[in-house]
A and B are shown apart, each in its own frame.
Chain A
Amino acid sequence: MNPLSDYEPAAWKLRDLELADLEPFWPSAPPRPREDLQASIAELGLIRPLWVLEEGGRLKILAGARRRAALLALGRRRAPALTAPPELPRERLLALALADNLQRGLNPAETALIWRFLQDQEPALAPRLAPQLGLGQSPRLRAWSYDAAALPDKGLAALADDRLDLENAARLAGWEAESRDKALDLFERLRPSKQKKREWLNWLEDLARREKSSPARILGELEAEPEIRAACEDLERLGRSKVEELFRRRLWRRRHPILNELLLRREARRAALALPQDIRLELDPGLEDLEFNLRLSFTGPADFERQLKVLAALAAKDDFKRLLDDADG
């Protein structure tokens, strides 16, 4: 059965209802009044009535929560509303309400909230309604949406505005409140990419386990470092990407102290070779050293010959051999 094709509008009753009596059916952050919606209602009136469900003696808005908010902002107290017939099957009711809400497009936070609501309240129907929410095919997307819906308003607002992606939102939703809030604040301040957010969350979780600490504490300690604190205070002048990179390096170093030491030692050895700028020895940052690469930039045969002499001398240097052969890094 297609729940939409069997829609019988005649069965819905049009009533004039007190806006203050209406409660939300779908969970959401309180809808913010939209200026354009208010302007439209002020000029043209309410084009479509609200959709309402009477449940347990209470009136719940299936579709029209934003319009209700706009009406209230305009000082209206009552509005026309279509009340769903009590005999309407639950699946059809939900499908209709979803379809109406989807007309305006749901942001990821709203999708997440609705999906969690359906999973919790209507577990038998949720899988059948998932395609309407764009969650039909991907169990992972459904899981992320479900988890992300547990974020507090600050996180949901970031998710709604695409400042936070669904995967990282879901992950943060599982963190304890203080750590989650600190991470959200950091993301707001530095605006790292989705990939970097994932990387930072990985490192913070690893560190918290290893140090038997919490991400909040680790973030607090990093932010208290004088260089990071100064950079954050001077964010405008330095630019966000520079501060972001500084923070990333500090976090990486704390997560990888041994690698950091190995790489610093290797970098010092490379520097000691004092190669000219046009001969570049490229070293594997992962230290696997399956191969080494040497990049030459030269202007002509004479320049090339000069470089060959440098390379011949390089091959005989103990420092160079040590750099390539040292089993300890």
Chain B
Amino acid sequence: MADGAPPSGLRLLVEDEFLPGGLAASLARAFSPRPLAPVGPADYPRFERRDLLLTRHRGQFIKPCPGTLNYNCCGLQIFHFGLGCTLGCRYCILEAYLGSRALVLFGNIDEGLDQLAALLDRPPAARPLRFGTGEFTDSLLLDRHSGLAARLIKIFAGRREAVLELKTKTDQVDHLLNLPHLGRTVISFSVNAPLVCRSEEGGAAPLEARLAAARRAAAAGFPIGLHFDPLILHPGWEDGYRETLALIDGRLKGAELAWVSLGGFRYLPALKEVMLARFPGTGIYDAEFVVGGDGKMRYPRPLRTRLYRLLVSGLRKILPPETVIYLCMESPRLWRDVFGRDPGSEGLTAALDRRARQLAARCPA
């Protein structure tokens, strides 16, 4: 059964300078390292899906979520530790963005962790509060082997007013459960309708397994995040999403839910050809789309409104009121149609920051 773990046949290729120890040594317990001459992003496309590259990252380790033109952004900061994913979701935006099929981890991650620690040592008013790692890869896909999350959790546990979000479609959380996190790490799960999880999310853990993992993480005191993203119109979608809400209600009752995001399926036009070539059986691109204000294909606004309204009304019935429910990359118009008001990017960021402060303040350092 799929659990979202990386395939066992991964070929670990390590740039010479990282061979002796550190991340390479951790990964070498699971994979046999082979030397790799230094490569850059332009070289990534020549590697294959089974390749795991350990390379030097020459760009910034911390950067704001790229957001998207004309749509509200939540202001999350990304800690960039690698690229790519082996789960094979049929909608994965990374396929169009990255131009790389291989997994990439940054061998010089210590530099990034030092930069992150230094940033978090600044007064909270002078830096962002929320940081995530799941933008360009799954936060926990390789984590049992890389051990990166434990290092991040430790950094955040020692800082005031800072929250880390680890976002995953796996159920690989057990190695984190005994860590002293002080409530400053949110473990988030990407969730969807059961049929979408089964048919469009490749090697990701089944929905039940993700929610079971969320329950274990919640029992260990971690705040939980849920991301209904991408919401996909499919036959029986209303019943499908209601079923997921019922599962959440049953499995996560009493858990500390930090936030829940909702995002309708959207994609760069180039993604469709790539995905249909790779997964000809997927039907998600056969729906009706319009070109959004950011150039991405989106469901027509009235259909997105129906999707969001169903989820928001369902979530409000089962979640405590302090849980922030928000739309990811949506237009002011959609916010008004669904919530009756548009907070703008600033208002959304502020609401999530308030929630992050509440979570971080629960346990004194």
Name A's B-contacting residues (CB within 8 A): 206, 209-210, 255-259, 262, 286-290, 327-329
How many chain B residues have a CB neighbour from A under 8 Å? 21
Whether the Cβ atoms of B293 and A262 lie closer than 8 Å is no
Which residues on B sit within 8 Å (CB–CB) of A257?
288
Whether the Cβ atoms of A286 and B283 lie closer than 8 Å is no
Whether the Cβ atoms of B333 and A259 lie closer than 8 Å is no
Given A259-B290, A328-B305, CB of A286 within 8 Å of CB of B285: no
Please name the residue on chain B nearest to A256 by beta carbon. B288
B302 at interface, CB cutoff 8 A: yes
Question: How far is it, in angstroms, between the C-alpha of A259 and the C-alpha of B297 when the chains are bound?
Answer: 14
Whether the Cβ atoms of B288 and A258 lie closer than 8 Å is yes
- Select A287's contact among B70, B283, B286, B300, beta carbons within 8 Å: B300
Question: How far is it, in angstroms, between the C-alpha of A327 and the C-alpha of B291 when the chains are bound?
Answer: 18
Whether the Cβ atoms of B305 and A288 lie closer than 8 Å is no
Question: How close is B25's CB to chain A, nearest CB, in angstroms?
Answer: 37
Whether the Cβ atoms of A327 and B290 lie closer than 8 Å is no
Whether the Cβ atoms of A259 and B288 lie closer than 8 Å is yes
Q: What number of residue pairs across chains A and B have CB atoms under 8 A from each other?
A: 50
- Residues facing A in B296-336 (CB within 8 A) are 298, 300-303, 305-306, 331-333
Please name the residue on chain B nearest to A329 by beta carbon. B302
Whether the Cβ atoms of B285 and A288 lie closer than 8 Å is no
Interface centre among A257, A286, A327 (most CB of B within 10 A): A327
Question: How far is it, in angstroms, between the C-alpha of A255 and the C-alpha of B300 when the chains are bound?
Answer: 14
Given A210-B283, A327-B337, CB of A287 within 8 Å of CB of B288: no
Whether the Cβ atoms of A288 and B301 lie closer than 8 Å is yes
Whether the Cβ atoms of B303 and A290 lie closer than 8 Å is no
Name B's A-contacting residues (CB within 8 A): 70, 283, 285-286, 288, 290-293, 298, 300-303, 305-306, 331-333, 337-338
Question: How close is B184's CB to chain A, nearest CB, in angstroms?
Answer: 37
Q: Across chains A and B, which 3 residue pairs bring their CB atoms closest together, nearest first?
A: A286-B290, A327-B337, A329-B302
Which residues on A sit within 8 Å (CB–CB) of B331?
288-290
Question: How close is A252's CB to chain B, nearest CB, in angstroms?
Answer: 11
Question: How far is it, in angstroms, between the C-alpha of A206 and the C-alpha of B306 when the chains are bound?
Answer: 23
Inter-chain pairs besides A288-B292, A288-B331, 5 sampled, C-beta below 8 Å: A256-B288, A262-B302, A287-B300, A288-B298, A289-B331
Question: How close is A200's CB to chain B, nearest CB, in angstroms?
Answer: 16
Question: How far is it, in angstroms, between the C-alpha of A151 and the C-alpha of B293 when the chains are bound?
Answer: 38
Which residues on B sit within 8 Å (CB–CB) of A329?
300-302
What are 15 contact pairs spanning A and B, CB under 8 A? A206-B286, A209-B283, A210-B286, A255-B288, A256-B288, A258-B288, A286-B300, A287-B300, A288-B331, A289-B331, A290-B70, A290-B293, A290-B331, A328-B305, A329-B301
Whether the Cβ atoms of B286 and A327 lie closer than 8 Å is no
Question: How far is it, in angstroms, between the C-alpha of A210 and the C-alpha of B293 when the chains are bound?
Answer: 26
Please name the residue on chain A nearest to B233 by beta carbon. A258
Whether the Cβ atoms of B286 and A258 lie closer than 8 Å is no
Please name the residue on chain B nearest to A208 by beta carbon. B286
Interface centre among B70, B298, B303 (most CB of A within 10 A): B303
Which residues on B sit within 8 Å (CB–CB) of A258?
288, 300, 303
Question: How close is B30's CB to chain A, nearest CB, in angstroms?
Answer: 34
Please name the residue on chain B nearest to A260 by beta carbon. B288
Please name the residue on chain B nearest to A326 by beta carbon. B302
Given A258-B300, A262-B300, A328-B305, CB of A289 within 8 Å of CB of B288: no
Which residues on A sit within 8 Å (CB–CB) of B338?
327
- Select B293's contact among A255, A288, A328, beta carbons within 8 Å: A288
